[in-house]
A and B are shown apart, each in its own frame.
Chain A
Amino acid sequence: MSKDLLTVKNYSVSSGSISAVRQVDFKVSENEKLGIVGESGAGKSMLGLSLMGLLPFGWESTGSAELAGRELVSMSEKDLVGIRGRDISMVFQDSLSALNPMKKIGKQLEFAFKHAEVSRSESFDEYILTLMHSLKIDDPELSLQKYPHQLSGGQRQRILIGMAVACNPRLIVADEPTTSVDSVIQRDVLDVLISNVSRLGASLVLITHDLAVVSNYCEKIIVMYAGKIVESGPVVSVMGNPKHPYTKALIGSHISLKHIKSGMSKRLPVIPGMMPAIQAIPTGCAFKTRCGSATAACEVQPPNFLVGERTVSCWHIEDQSE
């Protein structure tokens, strides 16, 4: 087993009494690709932003998150500025709003390259062109002279990926990198992301609500519900044999939907009922309002039971087998 790159323990993200992420524990090893899935509002994006230290005003993270031995939670803004981009970086979801509309693509890329250690054999421009090539952007020189709105969504998303990988970070957090992209080319964009991650030997945290994406590209999966990790473990086992009622419902409805729409829609299917808002999370198991297996025991928050390589947070795990 390879070394742990990111170790998150008892980690919460909250603003006053409201929590978006509640006491989560997980690890990301070097070279590992972790997928985080869940409905909107499950806390995935806040988790990603908090790791970057980019939480909106009023929000703060508690607990522990160590990146290669350095504690992120207590890190000063100055140190955070130092590690952003070069140790940990992020691919944002809405490529149009995530790029400065007033600056040319080249300028914005250049900024992301600030810390890049360009080897002596190639000039800065060559390096950018190499990268553009690896991003599979046609006519890179021309694209660099354009403003964001002059590029297609796919190209913009690739540029964002390029910015994220520019400084050879060790961990890349990709927050819904394909939401704003036409479904036809989502695959191309993801391929570019994965190939660049692999090229750099970096680790990836891929935040998505598309289970297929996770099963295709990731080794590990975390399923989040109302700020909690309800199930986590190797993709093969979790997807093949989900233990948590929420995971089951997620996979079940996903497959049925996939059937009906013949793969056209990769959006998370609707499970009856609504995920509680973060201001109104009930005590005990947060899923109890929608769970078919709920009993009186569920009024108490279930711990993370270890089942083989995975954790499951439910009082009623029917099948203890792997």
Chain B
Amino acid sequence: MSIFLFRRFLAFLVAFFLTSILIFVLVRVIGGNPATTLLGEYSTPEAVREIEIQLGLDRPIVIQYFEWIINLCSGDLGTSFRSGLEVNYLLASAIPVSISLSIGALIVAVLIGFPLGIISAVKSYRGSGTALDFFSQIGVAMPIFWSGALLSMFFGVRLGLLPTGGWVGWSENYAQSLRHLVLPSIALGIGIGSVITRFVRTAVVEVMRQDYVRTGRAFGMSEYRALFSIGLRNASLPIVTVLGNIVSHLVGGTVITETLFSMPGLSRMILDNVISRDILVVQNLVMIIVVYILIVNFIVDISYFSLDKRLRVK
């Protein structure tokens, strides 16, 4: 186990450095610098140069890289040139929004994914689940900007029940936050829900085919009970393996969802800073997400390793 842990940790470090180099290079390749975008097309060259010096963009590229990594590791995310505020301060207001959205979307996804997956599994091992399969395919393929716009149009404009966008902090008005969260969570949750549906379906079908389910039933377990106490339980464990997939869906989806619903979250913050070419902030924010995904995958690997001991008996 410890050798495994060590190897995974090494892989984590390698991935961290490789992605950091990639991001560092990419951010510089997109071109442009914050000064010109910030000051507008008619700014003076002196002002532009001054900002470049301020941002350290005049230093040798290798030094820029190491300074960045050292600052990043020590938790110093710098100051957003665009807003003149500390990135840590901006993050403190953006992260709760993104987390709320992610949790909301996950709840929706689980509420959609598990029941549909189970029903579709039951249908499939006793015949046809084609209709449900079809819907889960649509769910996966449906772009968020489309489903989101549809939701806003129906619940926001037509029925006037929910806000079409925007955000109210939890501390300001709990109920309003909830109202603002409903539509984005559904829009983002549908796609992830479809991923979960398909996964639960295959996992449950697989488990329900196992002999030990039959054994359980042979000793008085009802089919329904077998489904929930053996099928789901055993099927949920391999779901860990698609957690990485779900997280990447979440991260990718929040960018669009936050833009579509005007939510001041982390992804929107990145997008705003990409537009204003605040490259130092962009590379920090992207790195935070990379580290987040790496950590999730690290956890997935480790938990799968310990689960695998039991799973690999076959």
Contacts and interface: CB of A to CB of B under 8 A. Distances in A.
Nearest to B236: A102
Contacts of B314: 97
A86 interface: yes
A163 B219 CA distance: 8
A308 to B, nearest CB: 36
Interface stretch (B191-199, B206-214, B263-271): B206-214
Contact of B220 (A92, A96, A101, A115): A115
Given A77-B223, A147-B310, A148-B313, A84 B212 contact: no
Nearest to B225: A81
A101 B313 contact: yes
Contacts of B125: 57
A98 interface: yes
B220 A114 contact: yes
A99 B218 contact: no
A96 B313 contact: yes
Given A57-B126, A102-B233, A111 B221 contact: yes
Contacts of B221: 81, 111
B217 A84 contact: yes
Contacts of A90: 218
Given A57-B126, A85-B220, A101 B311 contact: yes
Interface in A109-155: 111-112, 114-115, 147-149
B222 interface: yes
Nearest to B126: A57
A52 B218 contact: yes
A101 B310 CA distance: 6
A166 B210 CA distance: 22
B313 A92 contact: no
B215 A98 contact: yes
A158 to B, nearest CB: 14
A86 to B, nearest CB: 7
Nearest to B127: A57
Given A85-B220, A97-B210, A163 B215 contact: yes
B214 A85 contact: no
Nearest to A160: B215
Contact of A85 (B218, B223, B310): B218
Interface in A52-111: 52, 54, 57, 77-78, 81-82, 84-86, 89-90, 92, 94, 96-102, 111
A163 to B, nearest CB: 6
Contacts of B19: none
B163 interface: no
B212 A112 contact: no
Nearest to B313: A149
Nearest to A53: B217
Contacts of A89: 218-219
A78 to B, nearest CB: 8
Nearest to A163: B219
Nearest to A149: B313
A55 B203 CA distance: 21
A99 B310 contact: no
B212 A98 contact: yes
B97 interface: no
Contacts of B313: 96, 101, 148-149
A160 B313 CA distance: 18
B222 A77 contact: yes
Nearest to B218: A90
Nearest to B310: A101
Interface string B282-314: 000000000000000000000000000011011
A148 B314 CA distance: 11
A149 B314 CA distance: 9
B216 to A, nearest CB: 7
Contacts of A84: 217-220
Nearest to B124: A57
B227 to A, nearest CB: 13
Given A52-B218, A57-B125, A148-B313, A99 B223 contact: no
Given A84-B220, A163-B219, A166-B219, A149 B212 contact: no
Contact of A100 (B220, B222, B223, B230): B230
A174 B15 CA distance: 54
Interface in B203-259: 210-212, 214-223, 230, 233-234, 237
A97 B311 CA distance: 11
Given A97-B314, A100-B230, 7 more contacts: A49-B214, A81-B222, A84-B218, A84-B220, A98-B211, A100-B215, A111-B216
8 contacts: A84-B220, A85-B218, A86-B220, A90-B218, A97-B314, A112-B219, A114-B220, A148-B313
